[in-house]
Chains A and B, each alone.
Chain A
Amino acid sequence: MREQLPILPIVILFAAAFLTPLVGMVVERWRLPRLRDWFAVASLGISGAACLGLTQIIWTRGEVEYRLGSWPAPWGITLNIDGFNLIVALLAIGVSLLVGIYAIADMRQNSGLTRFYTLYLLLTVGIMGLTFTGDIFNLYVFLEIMSVAAYGLVAFEEERAEAIAGAYKYLVLGSVGTGAVLLGIAVLYGLVGTLNMRDLALKVQALGIQGQPPLALSVAMAALIAGLGLKAGVVPLHSWKPDAYAGASMPVGAVLAAASTTASLYALVRLLVVIYIPWLNIVRPILLALAVLTMLVGGFLILQQNDLRRVLAYSSISQVGYILLGLGLWTPIGSSGALLHLMNFAIMETLLFLAAGVIIRQAGTSELRYLGGWGRRFPTITMLFGLGALASAGVPPLNGFASKWLLYQAGIEAGQPVLTVMAVLVSALTLIAYGKVFSGLFLGPGEPEGRIFKPSLLTMLPTWVLAILCILLGLWPAQALTYLRSALAVLVDAVPAVQVWGYWDPVVTGMLLLGIAVLASLVVAVSRSLTRSQPCPGKSALYLNGVSTVGDGWGCSYADRELYMAGQHLYWAVRRIFGPVLGALDLSFLKGGLGWVILTVGVLIFLLVQTIGGI
């Protein structure tokens, strides 16, 4: 049994996924549909327990290789489990379990839940397999299992038009992404003729030692970065994300944002670090460029959103940028920060989606202008949402702050304070955007109508657990970091002990704080001076926090669609300055998104061929 433990989390979920329709049929006859939901959740729990059992083995042995069908490593498929992917798997299964419990109550009103739970379990199988596998083609297969299940889940609430539109867009772009991954794998296989990741790493690195690596290597690397980057929602490959999240029900959005993104990022890191380690220094500037783009575009676009689901989508995009930033810097403190942020990201995104889901489910809409008064109606859940929002904006003493603090330090330590400034700026933008959401929820006009029911224990329990985790990880990040060191050991050879606090000398800290203050006042001053020239009704007290239908002037032409509130001029200023750029990135249905994907692949190939070389 102990020998079979590595495969159990995957097999249990697979079996449960295909048993769910059967259980559903039996249970429908007895009119106990909740039993089927609990069956799905229980299988997630057992799978999670198997993962926990694995931690003990990993703790003592460091890593485990499981051979499927007992075929030895380079020929057969293996599962390679070490500290790094076990942590990702634990996060993913934990998130899936909590969201599954939440979904029992949240999805109660929907019909066809048997299909929902089957797809939900398959999505989790895909994520688990993606993290555990040691075979690169197996990775592609699990990526596709995850993706196809996700397309179906996004379209699940098919009575909403956004669900079908979002799912279709996700399907087309996602298939191009997985197609790119397959292309990369095919080219790699053609180059060295093996699929086992370790063997592949050895053979690819041998190519690097021999001198001029072939052109195919650059093409494969570009295709893999683009494909997995698309799945993780890296700008400019992100355009499916807002639409898919706007279409998905909130539990699905939570799993996609937290577990699926985390697993895709993990796969990207694993391939880059394990296979392309000789060229890592060449890829780093590209990763940093993508990170900066992801943070900034996500940060600025989050300000423009008037829909709670889209706010969450863009917030998750900008958080991915932070993780990439830490990886791109690749210093011990940077990669520790990235890994800690990956963990915190999964927890706080789930918290945000689940807390927002309670309100959205009851209000029946996610447009901010219709959500007025709901914050007053559900103070507890809104406070939990606020906790998640503050955490993802990096406010101490929550978990988002601890990992962002490490990343800020990493930027300065690597001699690139510009990156730190950008990271701080995007945190500020996130905070402002959530301020807008709160302004809508609490201060917006309107009173909740219709039948309002108390959120059940099943929705509150996972939300509370996540909120408490946010606080605990914020208060004791050093402990979390100690546990993450075994994971880091997989990535970096020598892991120096990284201190969260007390790493900096006071001068640098003081300079940074001063910089933040100066930057904030500069942004406010610029936006004020830009809006002062053209007075808007939004600035008068009468319209403050009220919905206005009056539209005049450049800023106010948007007025009928959004809320007026304190600080509104900032959004207008951002839109005034960056409008055309943001318009080009807030992508239209398909052509735009696809165009960016193809352009990105082209640019990546060009850059990598230029830097790595090859003929």
Chain B
Amino acid sequence: MLMWQNLPYGVAILTFMLGIYCLLFKRNLIKIAIGLKIMSDGLHLLLLCLGYRAGGRAPILPEGGGAKEIVTNLATSFVDPLPQALVLTAIVIGVCVSAVALSLAVKAYQRLGVTDTVGLRGK
């Protein structure tokens, strides 16, 4: 059933597909690096969606004992914090991959004078 709360999943898959499209049909080395980033961002969005709960609370216990019902309903009322931690890690890794990809693009231009995959293959 198509519902508004499923929209983020759709956006995530669309972003992922857009990245794949970019990898498949772009030749410029920098554009391909951007495509990789878009693809992984789609994945990150998907992970975030998994942990989201509409109307959920931040997963922080209130101080004191005043919120006993919150603690007992912990599993159903909190937003899942784990995917956010995972995404944070994945973003850092994504930055590393982008950095390596871009530096390779720079090296390809410096050493070989090419900026696209066709030129890289021809060398």
Contacts and interface: CB of A to CB of B under 8 A. Distances in A.
Instruction: Tell me whether A and B are bound partners.
Output: yes
Interface of A: 137, 140-141, 144, 148, 151-152, 155, 158-159, 161, 164-165, 167-168, 171-172, 175-176, 179, 182-183, 186, 189-190, 193, 195, 588-591, 594-595, 598
A168 B123 contact: no
Contact of B82 (A140, A195, A594): A195
Contacts of A152: 100
Contacts of B100: 148, 151-152, 171
Interface string B80-123: 10110010011001001100110011011001100001101101
B15 interface: no
A415 B83 CA distance: 46
22 contacts: A140-B90, A141-B89, A151-B97, A155-B107, A161-B112, A161-B123, A164-B107, A168-B101, A171-B97, A171-B100, A172-B32, A175-B40, A176-B23, A179-B39, A179-B40, A182-B43, A182-B90, A186-B47, A186-B83, A189-B50, A189-B86, A190-B50
A77 B108 CA distance: 40
Nearest to B25: A591
Size class of the B contact interface (CB-based, 8 Å): 35 or more
Interface of B: 20, 23-25, 29, 32, 36, 39-40, 43, 46-47, 50, 80, 82-83, 86, 89-90, 93, 96-97, 100-101, 104-105, 107-108, 111-112, 117-118, 120-121, 123
Q: Which of A151, A152, A164, A588 has the most CB of B within 10 A?
A: A164
Given A148-B96, A179-B40, A168 B23 contact: no
A174 to B, nearest CB: 9
A152 B111 CA distance: 16
Contacts, number: 97
B24 A595 contact: yes
Contacts of A171: 97, 100-101, 104
Q: Which of A152, A168, A171, A189 has the most CB of B within 10 A?
A: A168
A125 to B, nearest CB: 14
Nearest to A168: B104
A9 B111 CA distance: 38
Nearest to B98: A175
A19 B23 CA distance: 36
Nearest to A180: B43
Please name the 9 residue pairs, one residue from A and one from B, whose CB atoms are nearest each other, closest first. Answer: A161-B123, A589-B121, A190-B50, A165-B120, A144-B93, A186-B47, A168-B104, A164-B108, A589-B117
B18 to A, nearest CB: 13
A168 B108 contact: yes
A164 B24 contact: no
A71 to B, nearest CB: 13
Given A155-B104, A164-B108, A591-B24, A175 B121 contact: no
B121 A189 contact: no
A165 B107 CA distance: 10
Contacts of A168: 29, 101, 104-105, 108, 117, 120
A598 B82 contact: no
A183 B24 CA distance: 19
Contacts of A158: 107, 111
Nearest to A151: B100
B117 A148 contact: no
Given A164-B120, A589-B118, A598 B107 contact: no
Q: Which of A140, A159, A186, A590 has the most CB of B within 10 A?
A: A186
A398 B94 CA distance: 44
A189 B123 CA distance: 44
Given A161-B111, A161-B120, A186-B50, 17 more contacts: A141-B89, A144-B96, A148-B96, A148-B97, A151-B97, A159-B111, A164-B108, A164-B111, A164-B112, A168-B104, A171-B100, A172-B32, A172-B36, A186-B43, A189-B83, A190-B50, A589-B121
A144 B91 CA distance: 12
Contact of A148 (B29, B50, B93): B93
Contacts of A190: 50
A186 B46 contact: yes
Contact of B24 (A179, A195, A594): A594
A141 B93 contact: yes
Q: Which of A151, A179, A190, A591 has the most CB of B within 10 A?
A: A179
A7 B20 CA distance: 37
Nearest to B75: A193
B64 to A, nearest CB: 24
A164 B105 CA distance: 9
A446 to B, nearest CB: 25
Q: Which of B23, B32, B118 has the most CB of A within 10 A?
A: B23
A608 to B, nearest CB: 18
Nearest to A598: B20
Contacts of B96: 144, 148
Contacts of B50: 186, 189-190
Contacts of B105: 168
A175 B36 contact: yes
A151 B97 CA distance: 9
A165 B123 contact: yes
Contacts of A165: 108, 120-121, 123
A590 B117 contact: yes
A588 to B, nearest CB: 7
Nearest to B93: A144
Contacts of B86: 137, 186, 189
A183 B46 contact: yes
